[in-house]
Amino acid sequence: MQHFKTLSAYINYLELPPPEHPMLSVFSAIGRGFLPCPKKSSPPITNDCYSISLKKFVKGDLNYGRTKYDFTNGALIFIAPGQVLEWDERVVFEQKGFSINFHKDFLKGTELAHQIKKYSFFSYTVNEALHLSPKEEKQIESIVENIEIEYQNNQDEFSKEIIISQLSTLLKYANRFYERQFLNRKELSNDLLTQFNFSINQYFESGHLQEKGIPSIEEIAHEMSVSQRYLSDTLKKETGKTTTEHLHLQLIDAAKNILLQPNKSISEVAYELGFEYPQYFSKLFKKKEGISPTEYREMYRFN
């Protein structure tokens, strides 16, 4: 897999005009013309740059998991260093909006270098983009215009500080708008929870628990065709529980059924559920239910 260590090498690979700054590239078509068109397709590649782009329109459908979404309004897309990128000619964006690319070292020595790691949307896939309302688009575009002014001007000792400040503001607004998207897309959230529970149940019923142990959240997310971070954030916003908590609830429900089989010891129940250590199973069960597996079994017998 090809990896690009510098911004210039990455931009050159995309067949875009060379950047004005060795660590920062800004392409904007806000209120005028079109963005330069990058190469139409690419095998998997990685690079050391962050990317923030607003795509105004997509020809054809773009899938989010098993659901199709309309990108008629702007879609704000975030890509982090090291993320694998691959695209083909099937999905075509009209070249309007903007694209900001900056090398991770551009942030060195700034507060944003630490803050940016907290923005989980950089871990989402492109299909999990932020869908902006017209009002939100205008707010983001006004910030980008300020960045572009500094980028195009003769750079001085204040330029980088101003650009970093504007980038920080842009990301804060994006964080706010994602919060709104999570709240508004309850149907999507409910669908994700349904898919999540279905994937876990399928895993349980297939006998994988005994063969492979408890599945990781990453495995489940992959099975659902979503990123682990987006799945976790969506379920947390909607249900108040993390993906791990949901997984544990499913395990405890399965445990209750098996515990009612008197011929099985607590250790056997734990191993059947994929726990490597029976003590951990007992501890988790008591944490969730308030009583130990043995106490649960005894209570059922008396009832």
CA distances from 191 to 106, 124, 164, 234, 235 (A): 39, 18, 38, 11, 10
Same domain, 36 and 75: yes
CATH of the domain at 112: 2.60.120
| Model pLDDT, residue 70 | 46
| Model pLDDT, residue 90 | 66
| Model pLDDT, residue 126 | 53
Same domain, 21 and 100: yes
Same domain, 204 and 58: no
Same domain, 72 and 215: no
Q: How many domains does the chain have?
A: 2
Same domain, 29 and 153: yes
| Model pLDDT, residue 149 | 93
Residues 222-248: tens digit of each pLDDT: 888 788 888 888 788 777 888 999 899
End position of a domain, from candidates 184, 210, 227: 184
CATH of the domain at 265: 1.10.10.60
End position of a domain, from candidates 137, 158, 184: 184
Same domain, 138 and 255: no
Residues 6+ apart with CB under 8 A from 100: 24, 25, 26, 27, 51, 52, 53, 144, 147, 167
Distance CA 282, CA 266 (A): 8
pLDDT at 190 over 80: no
Residues 104-115: tens digit of each pLDDT: 999 998 999 989
- C-alpha 281, offset from chain centre: 30
Distance CA 9, CA 4 (A): 6
| Model pLDDT, residue 188 | 54
Which residue, among 256, 254, 253, 264, has the nearest Cα to 295 in the 3D structure?
256
Same domain, 46 and 109: yes
Q: Exposed e or buried b for every residue in 200-237, given b needs 16+ CB within 10 A?
A: beebbeeeebeeeebbebeebbebbebbbbbbbbbbbb
Structural domain that includes position 144: 2-184
End position of a domain, from candidates 139, 164, 184: 184
pLDDT at 56 over 80: no
pTM for this one? 0.62
Q: 33 pLDDT band (50/70/90 cuts)? A: low
Mean pLDDT (the chain) is 82
Same domain, 210 and 129: no
Same domain, 160 and 195: no
Q: Is the dihedral of CA 68, 72, 73, 74 positive or negative?
A: positive
Same domain, 138 and 243: no
Task: Find the mean pLDDT for residues 189-212.
Answer: 81
| Model pLDDT, residue 240 | 80
pLDDT at 92 over 70: no
Residues 146-174: tens digit of each pLDDT: 999 999 888 788 899 999 999 999 999 99
How crowded is the C-beta side of 160, counted as CA atoms within 13 Å?
14
Work out the percent of the chain whose per-residue pLDDT is above 70: 84
Same domain, 114 and 169: yes
Which residue, among 61, 19, 272, 257, has the nearest Cα to 151 in the 3D structure?
19
pLDDT at 69 over 60: no
| Model pLDDT, residue 61 | 47
Stretch among 83-87, 127-131, 278-282 having the lowest mean pLDDT:
127-131
Same domain, 138 and 261: no
pLDDT at 292 over 70: yes
Work out the percent of the chain whose per-residue pLDDT is above 90: 33
